[in-house]
Amino acid sequence: MIALSIFDLALAAILVIGLAALSWHLRIGLEQRLLVSAARTTVQLLLIGLVLKVLFDNAHWLWVSAMAAIMVTVAGREVMARQKRRFAGWWGFGLGTLSMFLSSFTVTVLALVVVIGNTPWYAPQYAIPLLGMILGNTMNGIALGLDRLTQDVAQHRPALEARLALGQAWREVIADSRREAIRVGMIPIINAMAAAGIVSLPGMMTGQILAGVPPVEAVKYQILVMFMIAAGTGFGTVAAITFGSRRLFDERHRLRLDRLIQPKDD
């Protein structure tokens, strides 16, 4: 494997700086976010590299569980961080976190114990990367789905409240918005699976090939990961949208948009 130097990484960073300069020139307003995100990426990846080195040298299920808990918790926060309308209070954080725990964590454990069958099953070189890939994609699906749900409900509030006034139950009123939100949440992973191997070479497979793993073995692992991601994203999105839909109505079947944090421009 060819090692990368600091100079090599600096050359790649120049491209991001150039993109930020273009954003400033065109007055798009994304230059600060872009540079901050790039800085976060650098710091976070360097830190996780050091943490994983220690974790690999001291493999114990307690340390692996703690790392997994931190990853799920941070992902739960990121689900709500950039939504235009998000649930207020602990629901804003708990909804995404619970959904990802029920889906991503369960799917990862299933893959480690039943499919891969490594010993021990919590070996960090398998558990942490697999959980990270599934969490990252599940997080995107849940975030997109919840954002679409809350936006759709806010946009069609008069029609929804009219249907409620006519005696329809909240499940009937929200059904179309719920289905659309789940569809939107599933689009990224469906596109990724449809394009894999033709339009794009997925990251895990590419990394294994660069590390010298035989291409056929790398492909097998990538197929496993894609299927696990699809399952985690699907189940997680369905769970989040189901819980979120119920939260939008009270026990008297009234629409409660006051449970959402409204954007400042509304």
How high is the pLDDT of residue 53?
A: 85
Q: Residue 100: left if φ>0, alpha if ψ -120 to 50, beta else—which one? A: alpha
Tell me the CA distances in angstroms from 88 to 17, 73, 257, one per residue in order: 36, 17, 10
Please give the model's pTM, rounded to 2 decimal places: 0.80
Report the pLDDT averaged over residues 85-113: 85
- Kindly give, in sequence order, each residue whose CB lies less than 8 Å from that of residue 38, ignoring residues fewer than 6 positions away: 13, 16
Q: Are 87 and 260 in contact (CB under 8 A)?
A: yes
Q: Give the Cα separation of 144 and 138 in Å (integer).
A: 10
Whether 101 shows a pLDDT value over 90: the answer reads: no
Q: Are 24 and 31 in contact (CB under 8 A)?
A: yes
Whether 265 shows a pLDDT value over 70: the answer reads: no
175-197 pLDDT per residue, tens: 999 999 999 999 988 988 888 87
